Amino acid sequence: MGENIEVQTNISFMDAAKGVQKDIVITPLVQCKTCTGNGMKKGTTKSKCASCEGTGTRVHFMQGGFQMASTCNTCSGTGTTVPRGGECGTCRGNGAVRERKTVTVDIPGGVEDGMRLRVMGEGDHPPTGQATNPNAKTEQGDLYVFIRVAPDAKFSRSGSDVLYTASVPLTTAILGGEIKIPTLDGDVKVKVATGTGTGDKVTLPGMGMKKLQARRAGSNGDLRVEFKVAMPKYLSVNQRTIIEMLADEMGDATAKRVMNLGKYKEEDAAASKTGSAGSAAGKEGHEGEGWLKNAWHNITGQHDHPEQSGQGKSEEKDEEPKKASGSGSG
């Protein structure tokens, strides 16, 4: 039996997910072609070892009638000797020589870092030239491929499931929307529910790695997406003003206020009394929205067509400038 060969191969996360064919260069012992493995020059034959008479062992008689068997020194236990100069010149009597060889190995999808893949019969040829019987049936060793899977910048995994953390803009998390996320098969769009928080998850079934043990084709793990809301560490003056307005609107009493929004309310109250344009909404039963508009105009500089969208549509009117701010401030 020949020796096993162990080699290491490095593959990418993607290759581990999909499976890959890898060419691996090894230098195994192969049967010597010159002597076809018997280790002898053409025309020469091994002869029975004279020291041990072909047994490979020598028996020593000790004092007291003991016998002790030991390996024959002359033939190293093979029981045969090679005539002087009778060894095969190519393999020096080994019967096997090292030869560079490329083995194409099919690495299955779903393989994990640290796994060993056994390729039968791609190991060393046994050194048959040393064997007692060079014609005995021999077996090649095996090739073991030790697989290292490189970590991926985007994905991690849990078994056949692929894990991905998706950053969601704060506003998308609040309003809901759709974001693009990478998968093993390219980008896909994923809905973000209104009010999504960090740690909320969605699962895309069947979009993970191939299952290693799967008997049926097309059996895959899942892609598990975890949302992480991207919180701004810094707010511009406009952004802070808007968020403070939101805090007021949502009745948040605990949020810090630094933008002095009260002045807009006062201005609005004053405007209502004098009957200026700012009071229009108030008259329609939207008390308290005037100051919002006032503040809004102050932020965006939009003192434009407040009446164009018509009566009873003030809610839509409020939606419009919010969208505008998203693109304007970015």
d(CA 280, CA 179): 39
42 or 215: CB nearest Zn ion = 42
- Of 16, 26, 30, 75, the residue at the interface with Zn ion (CB under 5 A) is 75
Half-sphere exposure in the Cβ direction for 42 (13 Å, CA): 2
Residue 11 interacting with Zn ion (CB under 5 A): no
When binding is defined by CB under 5 A, the residue of 3, 9, 14, 34 that contacts Zn ion is: 34
- The answer to whether 40 contacts Zn ion (rule: CB under 5 A) is no
Q: How far apart are CA 162 and CA 99, in angstroms?
A: 41
51: contact with Zn ion by CB under 5 A: yes
Question: Would you mind telling me the total number of residues written for the chain in this entry?
Answer: 330
Beta pairing partners, 58: 70
Q: How far is the CB of 124 from Zn ion (least distance, A)?
A: 15
Q: Could you give the CA distance from residue 184 to residue 244 in angstroms, rounded to a whole number?
A: 41
Complex with Zn ion: residue 29 or 261, whichever CB lies closer:
29
In the list 4, 9, 44, 74, the residue contacting Zn ion (rule: CB under 5 A) is: 74
Q: Which residues contact 6 (CB under 8 A, 6 or more apart)?
A: 116, 143, 144, 145, 146
Among 29, 52, 245, 271, the residue binding Zn ion under the rule CB under 5 A is: 52
**Residue 61: CB minimum distance to Zn ion, A:** 18
Among positions 11, 32, 223, 225, the unique one binding Zn ion when judged by CB under 5 A: 32
**Cβ proximity of 197 and 227 under 8 Å:** yes
Q: The dihedral of CA 266, 272, 278, 280: what is its sign? A: positive
For residues 71 and 158, which CB has a smaller minimum distance to Zn ion in the complex? 71
Residue 119 CB coordination number (10 Å): 18
Burial category of 266 from C-beta neighbours within 10 Å (exposed 0-12, middle 13-18, buried 19 and up) = exposed
Other C-beta atoms closer than 10 Å to the C-beta of 231 total 9
Selected binder of Zn ion within 24, 88, 173, 271 (CB under 5 A): 88
Q: In this chain, which stretch among 68-76, 206-214, 241-249, 278-286 interacts with Zn ion, using CB under 5 A? A: 68-76
- If the CB atoms of residues 74 and 183 are measured against Zn ion, the closer one turns out to be 74
Among residues 17, 26, 35, 107, the one that binds Zn ion under rule CB under 5 A: 35
Nearer to Zn ion, 126 or 278 (CB): 126
Quote the least distance from Cβ 222 to Zn ion, whole Å.
Answer: 56
Binding footprint of Zn ion on the chain (CB under 5 A): 32, 34-35, 49, 51-52, 72, 74-75, 88, 90-91
